[in-house]
Structure 1
Amino acid sequence: MFNTARMGLFAALLAGVAGPVLAADFVEPPVVEPAPPPPVYEQPVEYGGWYIRGDIDYHWSEFRGGDYITYGPDPGTGRFDSGELDGAFSVGAGVGYQINQHFRTDLTADWMSKSEFRGSTTGICLDGDPCTSTDTSSYTALLLLANAYVDIGTWYGITPYVGAGIGGAWVKWDKLHNTIEDGEFSHNGGKGWRFAYAAMAGASYCLTDRVKLDVGYRFSHIEGGKMFDFDSDVGPGHDKGINVNEVRGGLRYQFGNSDCAQPVPIAYEPEPVYTK
């Protein structure tokens, strides 16, 4: 019986020691979950600011007709039977302001180089018989416009736009030379300011974060004005206006925030998440 009691006491002591050890085996340590990849945010670009531009173009001018005063036995008004203008180049510059992503305005000045004119008129020669005169001249112009544009949107770095402008043009005609059967005579050319307006469409492309390539088409209309002075019982003469179709190309440099600039990525490391 003593042995039985001793064995019971030993079993009780063994159970008291083993119990905490077995209990400790079931307590799991805290698990640290790996942090998710840090999210990346893009800091939005605030569009706007001043820009400058430079352009070149090749244009075709359309002579919209002309008339002149005649003197002599039957004074009245004559008109050009025909008139054509050759193509020419232009160079221009401007300064503008990008209001937001979709709207901008600028002031531009374009110098239109000499465009040759060739036309014809019908009149009475010195012998009293009807005759046809071959008329040659040329014109140059300085076109000043205030413009507004809508940048429609940007796809693959290309931004199409439409726009319109209003302003004036300084037009200078060279001497008008008349060649008839009886010989030649000439009139001094007219010059002066005229009202002008324009409509344009094109697209720009980001070359750098501040420089854009700009290509497009512009239609300009220059109101009529004095074409030549009086001479040899004819004049003065006035043209009825000039239409100009331009294919343009140029560069724009943005001083302010440009839509060509890439958004700045902002990343942060979240705190580790512990679970029990």
Structure 2
Amino acid sequence: MFNLARKAFLTGIVATFAVPAFAADLALPPPVIEQPPIYEAPAPDYGGWYIRGDIDYHKPSWRGADYITYGPGTNSFTSGKLKGAFSLGAGVGYQINNHFRADLTADYWFKSDFEGHTVGSGCGGVPGTCTSNDSSSMSAWLLLANAYVDLGTWHGFTPYVGAGIGGAHIKWDTLHNSDTSGDYYHKGAKGWRFAYALMAGTSYCLTDRAKLDVGYRFSHIEGGRMFEESGVGVGPGFDDGFNVHEVRAGLRYSFGGPANGCYEPVQVVYEPQPEPLYTK
């Protein structure tokens, strides 16, 4: 009887202390923490069409010219120089991805004045050699298909290199030839010639779709007819072509992705927070 009473007493003591502890455990359930979703910003959209407009200052390098003379044969200009001039251009292109693009361009070269000299003999019936002064001007249309490699964008600046191939329509004005025997005029020639170009430059993001483009272009124009026969036993003449150095500036406007790299969406990435540790 005494043992039974002692067991009942001990069981009551254990129950008295166990119930509050069990209640405490029920009052502190494991915390439920909602983890915010992880958001990865989408990759920028680079593809799309664009248009461009350009202005430049170009300086053709004179490479010489020959002309036919009836009697002595073929003669050459002893010297020549083409002055620099401005040009206007326009084009349409497509940004293939963030590194490659291509466009078609048309540029009109305003007139470059030409001054040169030739040496002849027997001018005005006077024995011996004589030097003539020659003047004219040259204008052109340059049509090119171009491809470019954009080398990456840093703080809105995108350097690039490129190359183009196409044709140039060269138009010479009347050649004025003057020597001691008088003044002579030779009708200028015109026609299409093969052309190619190499270029390098940098573009800068002005807005999310517009870019300022500044660069250098080297153009080579093949030789062709310069002037026709004048009726005095001289002509036709043929120039040896031109190497043209151009400093260019223009604008490109994109209709596709946001300015082909000008706009970079802000990347917001939520990292899950670590669950708190509870100690008893």
Asked if TM exceeds 0.5, the reply is yes
Q: How far apart are residue 274 of structure 1 and its match?
A: 8.4
Q: How far apart are residue 22 of structure 1 and its match?
A: 3.6
Q: Which moved more, 1:183-192 or 1:24-33?
A: 24-33
Aligned match for 2:124, one of 110, 126, 129: 126
One-letter code aligned to 1:188: K
One-letter code aligned to 1:226: R
The question of 1:117 aligning with 2:111 is answered: no
In the TM superposition, what whole-angstrom CA distance separates every residue of 1:136-172 from its partner, at most 9, and x where no partner exists? 1000000000111111112222111111111001100
Provide the C-alpha distance between the structure 2 equivalents of 1:225 and 1:172, rounded to a whole number of angstroms: 10
Q: Secondary structure in 1 aligned to 2:13? A: helix
Q: How far apart are residue 271 of structure 1 and its match?
A: 10
Residue in 2 that maps onto 1:236:
236
One-letter code aligned to 1:191: K
Residue in 2 that maps onto 1:98:
95
One-letter code aligned to 2:236: P
Q: TM-score of the superposition, structure 2-length normalised?
A: 0.86
Q: TM-score of the superposition, structure 1-length normalised?
A: 0.87
Q: Tell me, yes or no, if the aligned pair for 1:33 and 1:272 is still in contact at 8 Å.
A: no
Q: Which moved more, 1:254-263 or 1:117-126?
A: 254-263
Provide the C-alpha distance between the structure 2 equivalents of 1:272 and 1:185, rounded to a whole number of angstroms: 94
Distance 1:193 1:13, change over 3 A: closer
Q: Tell me, yes or no, if the aligned pair for 1:61 and 1:245 is still in contact at 8 Å.
A: yes
Residue in 1 that maps onto 2:181:
182
Provide the C-alpha distance between the structure 2 equivalents of 1:160 and 1:24, rounded to a whole number of angstroms: 71
Q: Secondary structure in 2 aligned to 1:165? A: strand
Q: How far apart are residue 261 of structure 1 and its match?
A: 2.2
The question of 1:197 aligning with 2:196 is answered: yes
The size of the alignment, in residue pairs, is 270
Q: Tell me, yes or no, if the aligned pair for 1:43 and 1:264 is still in contact at 8 Å.
A: no
Q: Tell me, yes or no, if the aligned pair for 2:158 and 2:202 is still in contact at 8 Å.
A: yes
Q: Tell me, yes or no, if the aligned pair for 2:36 and 2:270 is still in contact at 8 Å.
A: no
Q: Tell me, yes or no, if the aligned pair for 1:60 and 1:86 is still in contact at 8 Å.
A: yes
Residue in 2 that maps onto 1:215:
214
Provide the C-alpha distance between the structure 2 equivalents of 1:189 and 1:141, rounded to a whole number of angstroms: 13
Structure 1 residue ranges without an equivalent (≥5): 1-7
Which protein has the bigger strand share?
A: 1
Q: How far apart are residue 23 of structure 1 and its match?
A: 2.3
Q: Tell me, yes or no, if the aligned pair for 1:209 and 1:262 is still in contact at 8 Å.
A: no
Provide the C-alpha distance between the structure 2 equivalents of 1:150 and 1:44, rounded to a whole number of angstroms: 20
Aligned match for 1:263, one of 261, 265, 276: 265
Residue in 2 that maps onto 1:5:
none
Residue in 1 that maps onto 2:84:
87
Q: Which moved more, 1:235-244 or 1:24-33?
A: 24-33
Q: Secondary structure in 2 aligned to 1:41? A: coil
Q: How far apart are residue 35 of structure 1 and its match?
A: 5.9
Provide the C-alpha distance between the structure 2 equivalents of 1:165 and 1:34, rounded to a whole number of angstroms: 61
Q: How far apart are residue 32 of structure 1 and its match?
A: 3.1
Provide the C-alpha distance between the structure 2 equivalents of 1:239 and 1:256, rounded to a whole number of angstroms: 44
Provide the C-alpha distance between the structure 1 equivalents of 2:267 and 2:69, rounded to a whole number of angstroms: 75
Provide the C-alpha distance between the structure 1 equivalents of 2:48 and 2:79, rounded to a whole number of angstroms: 48
Q: Secondary structure in 1 aligned to 2:177? A: strand
Q: How far apart are residue 99 of structure 1 and its match?
A: 1.1
Q: Which moved more, 1:103-112 or 1:124-133?
A: 124-133
Residue in 1 that maps onto 2:3:
none
The RMSD of aligned alpha carbons is 2.9
Q: Tell me, yes or no, if the aligned pair for 2:124 and 2:180 is still in contact at 8 Å.
A: no
Q: Secondary structure in 2 aligned to 1:43? A: coil
Q: Which moved more, 1:155-164 or 1:53-62?
A: 155-164
One-letter code aligned to 1:160: P
Q: Tell me, yes or no, if the aligned pair for 1:43 and 1:266 is still in contact at 8 Å.
A: no
Q: Tell me, yes or no, if the aligned pair for 2:213 and 2:252 is still in contact at 8 Å.
A: yes
